[in-house]
Structure 1
């Protein structure tokens, strides 16, 4: 994974669990398999590694009260996060090539809902995740972030002077004013400046339509050039149609877009690479077969 090479990330966990017949339903989403079929989670990690992923992400995305409920989170949140970390680590350690484990730090109050952010509860929800994951992960990945406020809050709650911090924002899917924006409405150029301030090693865009990612990569690259910093840029898009305004991610199981089969997705990822993205993978609905094509064609 030297400089100048493309780092291949994994794809989505939840849909892949469902496709394999693992326990999977709302509202627990991908957290259900952690307690009911941990071997299925490890098998998905392994499938991505065998497809050529250099980085796999812990299955801790749904380990928040929004998905598993307040009571269960209070009782088991840290243990579930630790299990998510351990399963990913085990798969990575068994790999033939070096594989990094990214510790997924999700939106703490629900995906796509910057309006639900509650600063007073960040420590209570973040600490069990960080404590559980810490022994197993190589980098911290705050993903599907809708606002810079939450990104700052998560960064502030991480152990100091430790592992690299990766930050991934989700974008507004409807590009009405030509300026790429986070779901909070903040321009990507401002979010990139915050990433610089936080010492982010890799800035990514995920859980959005492929169509809106290219301009976001351009905006981030231009911001970094203007600020004279070197920060990796990456992307991992969704394969489901744009969500209605009032939706939270994973409200239901949307049908996947037929045009985003592996060759269709490769078309987008190749464009992101041309624009300067060095870290490429997939989010909801992008599976091991997609990652295999990216690894083959872009790595």
Structure 2
């Protein structure tokens, strides 16, 4: 770690907001109904009380943003027929469950504010930007946006592999909804990778951030990638944000705790194991680095649980 370089990219006195962690693996740990390809969506259908428990675990651990359990509410995970019959109902349920936990936290601790992020996932396949079909995006987005909108504080268009999909989603939301919009990109993170940070589409991070801000995003984040590739992305993004007309835009990171996965047309063959070197103490070291480099929103993605968020929350005053 080059600490002098980190310090050069640090702007002091930036407030840091704590995001929650990964929902899917936490639901599995809690004993929720869980199988592939439905992933976390199955709990909404068969055991929504587990979703509430997962949200509560993150809120109790210090998360100031909890994310709706809507990552699996897409046709390639639910199936086309079930998506068209249930997507609106399930999105509404996911929003209500998260809202109830956020409101309950505020009632118990009036000084604490927990916001709800409405998750809009990759509409087709994760990590495969070439699968995006712009003409189909509105029919998939419509029930998710309609179901979530009454319950959330802002939108989180997450795990995006290209600006093509992310900015299509952003434009769709802007047609009917005025809530803030955060966009989170997933990065190339194959083992041994060298070179400037890129989205999985191959787009340079700096160019993607500039385009995303120009399209009206209120924050840009990076998620669902290895922690080792996040720092260069944060530095590149901070440089663009500071030089833009939106220097107050948020900049966030929430990394994975599992080993890199190559793109595949059968991504649901199994569940990848968790890295042993990303326990809460070690993950916190990465979080400290990202904050030093300019991140203002930190949390975790796949495999990062409430214990990681608790460690971040406990250490926040030392950032």
Identify the residue that residue 226 of structure 2 maps to in structure 1: 209
Moved over 4 A (4+): 247-251
The 2-side partners of 1:259 and 1:246 are apart by 26
Q: How does 1:46-195 map to 2 (within 5 A)?
A: 46-95=56-105, 96=109, 97-160=112-175, 162-174=178-190, 176-195=193-212
Q: Show the counterpart of 1:269.
A: 287
User: 2:128 touches 2:263 (CA, 8 Å); kept in 1?
Assistant: no
1:62-110 Cα shifts (integer Å, max 9, x gaps): 0001111000001001111111101000110000221100000000002
Q: Residue in 2 aligned with 1:241?
A: 259
Matching residue within 27, 36, 40 for 1:26: 36
Is residue 2:27 matched to residue 1:12? no
> Deviation of residue 227 (structure 1)?
2.7
Shift of 1:200: 1.2
- Contact 1:12/1:286 (<8 A) preserved: yes
Structure 1: tracts of 5 or more residues without a match: none
**Displacement after TM superposition at 1:223 (Å):** 1.4
Kindly indicate whether the alpha-carbon contact (under 8 Å) linking 1:52 and 1:295 is maintained by their aligned counterparts in 2. Answer: yes
| Residues matched between the structures, number | 297
Tell me the secondary structure at the aligned position of residue 157 of structure 1.
Answer: helix
Alignment partner for residue 246 of structure 2, among 204, 214, 229? 229
- Name whichever of 240-249 and 282-291 sits farther off: 240-249
TM-score by length of 2: 0.90
Measure how far apart 1:13 and its partner are.
Answer: 0.4
Distance 2:206 2:266 in 1: 24
1:176-211, Cα deviation, whole Å (9 max, x unpaired)? 341100000100011111121122111100000000
Q: Tell me how far apart the structure 2 counterparts of residues 279 and 249 of structure 1 sit (CA, whole Å).
A: 29
Match of 1:279 among 297, 305, 308: 297
Contact in 2 for aligned 1:106/1:144 (Cα 8 Å): yes
Q: Is the 8 A contact 2:127 2:263 kept in 1?
A: no
Does the C-alpha gap of structure 1 residues 248 and 105 become closer, same or farther in structure 2, counting only changes over 3 Å?
farther
Q: TM-score, normalised by structure 1?
A: 0.96
Instruction: Report SS of the residue matched to 1:233.
Output: strand
**C-alpha separation in 2, matches of 1:280 and 1:37:** 29
Contact 2:59 2:102 in 1 (8 A): yes
User: Relative to structure 1, is the Cα distance of residues 179 and 247 closer, same or farther in structure 2, using a 3 angstrom cutoff?
Assistant: farther
Structure 2: distance between partners of 1:292 and 1:81: 28
By how many angstroms is 1:250 displaced? 5.6
